[in-house]
């Protein structure tokens, strides 16, 4: 039997985002979802969708540097390890694919880290946009390189403003 899931489209400066919950956790946040919002959303799921939408709005307004949402991305154990490592990359900073591979104890798995990064189902909140090439270049992003560049610029601008 398929798991019940509810979704809502939320606005962002980079285009609509689709947030999906199973009622307990956020399981997806993606660009260009093209899916219709769910009808008959149970109260707990509606509260979680509201909370996610509010936190995403705060992020884009520069008032949120970390998310406080229950997350349950679906993936392999290796993907889960990579996505946890992404959560450790601080706001306004970047890491290379090699850095992430080392952090998950698989220093030779740079390409596999890239593949796991590309399959991250919870964009922005699990900050795959903070992963760049070893030479500092922007490389692949499921939402497109223009969005990746915009997210990094937004964080750099607001991180600088937060300095004492």
Give the Cα separation of 9 and 17 in Å (integer): 6
| φ and ψ at residue 114, rounded to 5 degrees | -60, -40
> How would CATH label the architecture of 77-162?
Orthogonal Bundle (1.10)
Q: Where are the domains of the chain?
A: 6-60, 77-162
Which entry of 49, 95, 124, 128 is annotated as an active-site residue? 128
Measured in whole angstroms, the distance separating CA 67 from the mean position of its chain's CA atoms is: 10
State the pLDDT at residue 160: 66
State the pLDDT at residue 1: 42
- The stretches in the chain having pLDDT less than 70 are 1-2, 160-164
Q: Is 128 a catalytic residue?
A: yes
The string of pLDDT tens digits covering residues 102-149 is 999 999 999 999 999 999 999 999 999 999 988 888 887 777 789 999
What is the largest distance, in Å, between two alpha-carbon atoms of the chain?
53
Q: pTM for the complete prediction? A: 0.90
State the pLDDT at residue 163: 53
Q: Give the residue among 141, 112, 109 at the shortest CA–CA distance from 126.
A: 141
């Amino acid at each position: 039997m398929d798991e019940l899931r509810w979704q809502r489209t939320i606005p962002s400066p980079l285009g609509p985002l689709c947030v999906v919950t199973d009622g307990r956790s956020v399981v997806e946040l993606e660009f260009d979802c093209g899916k219709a919002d769910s009808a008959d959303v149970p109260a707990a799921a509606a509260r979680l969708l509201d909370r996610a939408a509010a936190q995403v709005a705060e992020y884009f307004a520069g008032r949120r540097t970390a998310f406080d949402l229950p997350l349950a991305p679906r993936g392999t154990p290796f993907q889960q390890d990579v996505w946890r490592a992404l959560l450790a990359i601080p706001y306004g900073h970047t890491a290379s694919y090699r850095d992430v591979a080392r952090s998950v104890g698989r220093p030779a798995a740079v390409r596999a880290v890239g593949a796991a990064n590309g399959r991250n189902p919870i964009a922005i909140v699990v900050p795959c946009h903070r992963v760049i090439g070893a030479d500092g270049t922007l490389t692949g992003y499921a939402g497109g390189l223009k969005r990746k560049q915009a997210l990094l610029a937004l964080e750099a601008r607001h991180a600088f403003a937060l300095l004492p």
